[in-house]
Amino acid sequence: MRRILTTRVLRLSAACAALALTLSASASTLIRAKLFVAPDGELKPDAIVLIDGDRIVSVSDAAAKANDTHEYSGAVLCPGLIEIASQAGAVDDLNDAANPIQVDADARDALNRRSAEYDGALRAGITTLVLTPSNENPIGGSTAIVCFTPQSLRPVIHGDTAPLKLSLSPEALRAVYEPSSRNGLIALLRRTLDAEKADPKPETSLGKLLGGKRVGIVAAPEAADVLTCADLAKSYGLRLAPWHSSDAEEVAELGAEFPGVIVGPFDFSTPARHARSAAAFAKNNSTVVIAGGLPFGATDRLRLGAAIAARSGLSPALARRAITSAPADLLGLNESHGRLAPGAMADLVVFSGDPLDLRSRVLAVYVGGQRVITDPSASSAPRLAQEDRK
């Protein structure tokens, strides 16, 4: 009896194992193309990416095999693009006119999961967006990292490493009450940081900023604002990433003091001086991240910004990195997003050519290892909008 039971258990276990193996094998996909964007931004041959489940298993392994193979001859595989400063689906919902200091505000609360703008972003190859409070609050609160699930394609909040948003911009100044001057704005920031320092609350967003666990994205439109950023970072031990383009050539040497610098958005009306900011910071060994400012401007403004930066002195490799692995690094997602590497999330885009060539089209988008969009040009109606109508 015992033997029979043991045999049955063993058989059942074997069957389960076989089933598990089958399921696992069926979830694996091999994607082949001509070139792929490496983590350093260079275009490399042997674009063979093996996906298992929602993760990348191997890259450039010629011996890799899977049940399903997707072939894109002549195409370029690229990690899903990362938009670091977006207000998609939440325009006008990410600022507070009454209260300048919004330590507790969290952009995740403004996420509109039904907005068709996310579907549009996905079709442009953007698989990660950072919902970023506007520049109108000296402390605008936590940003929110938004990704997609392959099942519904609804945007979802990813993790809790999202940076805090600060602003030194004149947009944060008030007409009648504090802060009404740049001086007052910096004083208010210092006062808030001092108060937090005196009575630490490590679990709050400000506490995490002071503890070095979170990055602060600082809108710094003038060169003087970058100097202030450096000063604040030094005084309080903060990890700040200034967002600055206009006078970068004057303050570029400070760039290396920050975990990263954000430039952009750029388009065809961007003055040459602003467009050279990416190259200026890169020359000083800064990690340069390019912002697209979605949904404002062109849908493809993230790629456009990288293309313009590449024509203004930034190397093409660093320009590709500035919209993929560099923002992932700044957001603390360097293990999981923004790169085609084993262990990373299988969010990737297939372009018909170099992503920096604006003639290149998106041929397919993969989210969590599943192909969720093919040939977007075939349909102009956003998928979410269609679903919403049902």
Q: Which residues bind other proteins (CB under 8 A)?
A: 88, 91, 116-117, 120-121, 266-276, 294-301, 304, 307-308, 310-316, 319, 354, 356-359, 361, 377, 380
Are 80 and 369 spatial neighbours (Cβ–Cβ below 8 Å)?
Answer: no
CB of 118 to other proteins, least distance (A): 9
Q: For other proteins, which is the closer residue by CB, 211 or 353?
A: 353
CB of 276 to other proteins, least distance (A): 8
HSE at residue 44, side-chain half, CA atoms within 13 A, is 13
CB of 258 to other proteins, least distance (A): 24
DSSP 100: S
CB of 91 to other proteins, least distance (A): 7
| Nearest partner of 128 among 267, 342, 302, 304, judged by Cα | 302
How many Å separate Cα 99 from the centre of its chain? 28
Q: For other proteins, which is the closer residue by CB, 145 or 278?
A: 278
CB of 218 to other proteins, least distance (A): 24
Q: For other proteins, which is the closer residue by CB, 92 or 203?
A: 92
Are 171 and 135 spatial neighbours (Cβ–Cβ below 8 Å)?
Answer: yes
Q: For other proteins, which is the closer residue by CB, 68 or 357?
A: 357
CB of 121 to other proteins, least distance (A): 7
Are 102 and 133 spatial neighbours (Cβ–Cβ below 8 Å)?
Answer: yes
Q: Which amino acid does the sequence have at 252? A: A
**Residue 371 burial class via C-beta count within 10 angstroms: exposed 0-12, middle 13-18, buried 19 and up:** middle
CB of 251 to other proteins, least distance (A): 18
CA distance 56 to 337: 11
Q: For other proteins, which is the closer residue by CB, 319 or 328?
A: 319
Q: For other proteins, which is the closer residue by CB, 255 or 316?
A: 316
Angle between helices 223-236 and 182-198 (to 10 degrees): 20
Q: For other proteins, which is the closer residue by CB, 232 or 298?
A: 298
Are 342 and 59 spatial neighbours (Cβ–Cβ below 8 Å)?
Answer: yes
Both tokens of residue 340?
A: 């085609």
Are 213 and 206 spatial neighbours (Cβ–Cβ below 8 Å)?
Answer: no
CB of 158 to other proteins, least distance (A): 21
Q: For other proteins, which is the closer residue by CB, 50 or 279?
A: 279
HSE at residue 344, side-chain half, CA atoms within 13 A, is 28
